[in-house]
Structure 1
Amino acid sequence: MPELPEVETFKRYLDRTSLKQVIKDVQVIDNRILDTEEKKLGKFLKAKRFESSTRHGKYLLVYLNPQYLVMHFGMSGDLEYYDDKEEPPKFSKVIFQFTNGFNLAYISIRMFGKVSVANSLEEFIENKKLGPDAYKMTLEEFQKAVQRRSAIAKNALLNQSFIAGVGNIYSDEILFRTKIHPKTNINSLSEGKVKELYANIKDVW
């Protein structure tokens, strides 16, 4: 499953290829991928531009004044920017068609991803009950989160309401580097170990 580093790569790819592009149309190939109404999505996007993007945990949020397009990539999601003259990528589920003759395809092989709309970043984070972003959080935020959490370390890192963005692969690497057994209760860690864990969360990316 795409975790924080992969979604950050998608963000940078979208920024490089698609920011400021005017959307001519939206083609929804499989509406099961939508977490919003298809007509609402089309009305929201047409004639607007991808103004900017941000990432929170495993979610990519693209700002189109005044709302956000939200993309979650599930187990096998991807983005591909391509010319009108080319065939759409295999497993494309939503295609954003730009006035410059290029397109951005949202790809999902196993249909675990979602495309939706959010009124604001703050509202989206609150509704999804997401914790602070694993890469952006401060040491103080992390220390407070650890103090409030009674769970084994592995489960705590995987819980997106604790910190957002860490998945199975990176949680194992983080705990290995910090020399913490996955079943250790996270709020039993010493202050020094918490700081070391925080540093390794940042460094593993």
Structure 2
Amino acid sequence: MPELPEVETIRHQLKTKLLLQKLVKIEILDPRFTKKISFKGALSIEGEKLLDIKRKGKYLLFIFEKKGLLWHFGLTGGLILLNHCLIQPPHKFLRLLLRFENEILGYFDIRKFGKIKTFDLPHFPEEIEKLGEDALEIKQEKFSSILKRSSKPIKSLLLDQTKIAGLGNIYVDEALFRAGIHPLRKASSLSDEEVAKLYHTIKMLLKKAIELRGSSIKDYLDAFGQKGKFQEEHLVYGKKGQKCRFCGQPLQYLKLNQRGTTFCQTCQS
């Protein structure tokens, strides 16, 4: 699933090409998909100018003149500027085309778990209202307060989008490893020093991942149809059984809340 760095990469790239363009037409290529997500009302946005593209957590929000369009990519969704794409995604996975004045934006989704819906401005949809503070924007004091009040395992807490929005399996595993914190530790057990280290590690990690246009593990492509490069920086994610970069011991693997978790038993305490 695209996480904060991947969605932020797409947001930034789309803004460079689509901002202030009129949405001329929406073409539905997969009626069964759009019927499932009740997309029909989105056609009312045709003719409106795109004023802004915002992000919170893993959600994108297209802000038009009167309405907004909410995107969540699910496991395998994404938006590609087809005019600028060197490697075209397989047409059978394209579900929608949004034709702007000078650009064609395609929504592709292999497993069709994505979510798209319209909302009336100036209010944001309930999906956004339920989110916690964005992981890229949250202040250290608020971050510390959330951790100190929770008895959940630290990994479970960081994945809870109602507490901190945008983090997923990739960046939580990577952040906890780099901060030397075991994923099963109770969040409230972390010392002030550990909380501060984890906070700054998450910020650094997200910024670096955005700089490298996210992690392409399986299906993720950026808005220009290119793979990200941050997977080349992964130290633990997807590396169970391999030697720890720091101590040389085999990386361990467990399931936590049905999510695979890779960590080092020696380096993370």
Normalising by structure 1, report the TM-score: 0.88
1:71 aligned residue? 71
Q: Is the 8 A contact 1:35 1:116 kept in 2?
A: no
What are structure 2's unaligned runs of at least 5 residues?
207-269
After TM superposition, give the deviation of residue 149 of structure 1 in Å.
2.1
After TM superposition, give the deviation of residue 82 of structure 1 in Å.
2.6
Are 1:176 and 2:186 counterparts?
Answer: no
| Change in 2 beyond 3 A, CA 1:148/1:122 | farther
Q: Which runs of 4+ in 1 moved over 6 A?
A: none
1:114-161 deviation per Cα after TM superposition (whole angstroms, max 9, x unaligned) = 1112332375422xx211100011112212211232200111111111
Secondary structure of 1:117 counterpart:
strand
Secondary structure of 1:53 counterpart:
strand
CA–CA distance in structure 1, aligned partners of residues 132 and 149 of structure 2:
12
Q: Is the 8 A contact 1:33 1:113 kept in 2?
A: no
CA–CA distance in structure 1, aligned partners of residues 134 and 67 of structure 2:
20
Alignment partner for residue 93 of structure 1, among 81, 95, 105?
95
| Change in 2 beyond 3 A, CA 1:76/1:167 | same
CA–CA distance in structure 1, aligned partners of residues 15 and 117 of structure 2:
19
Aligned length: 198
Q: Is the 8 A contact 1:150 1:187 kept in 2?
A: yes
After TM superposition, give the deviation of residue 39 of structure 1 in Å.
3.0
Q: Is the 8 A contact 1:28 1:38 kept in 2?
A: no
Q: Is the 8 A contact 2:54 2:60 kept in 1?
A: yes
Are 1:42 and 2:40 counterparts?
Answer: no
| Change in 2 beyond 3 A, CA 1:12/1:145 | same
- 1:129-144 map, 5 Å: 129-144=130-145
Secondary structure of 1:13 counterpart:
helix
| Change in 2 beyond 3 A, CA 1:55/1:155 | same
Are 1:203 and 2:222 counterparts?
Answer: no
1:113 aligned residue? 114
1:164-202 deviation per Cα after TM superposition (whole angstroms, max 9, x unaligned) = 111111111100011111000001111111111111110
Q: CA RMSD of the aligned region, Å? A: 2.0
1:194 aligned residue? 195
Secondary structure of 2:164 counterpart:
coil
2:227 aligned residue? none
1:80 aligned residue? 80
Q: Is the 8 A contact 2:39 2:117 kept in 1?
A: no
1:125 aligned residue? 128
2:241 aligned residue? none
After TM superposition, give the deviation of residue 62 of structure 1 in Å.
1.1
2:214 aligned residue? none
CA–CA distance in structure 2, aligned partners of residues 23 and 88 of structure 1:
22
1:18 aligned residue? 18
After TM superposition, give the deviation of residue 33 of structure 1 in Å.
4.8
- The higher radius of gyration belongs to 2
Identity rate of aligned residues, in percent? 39
Q: Is the 8 A contact 1:36 1:117 kept in 2?
A: no
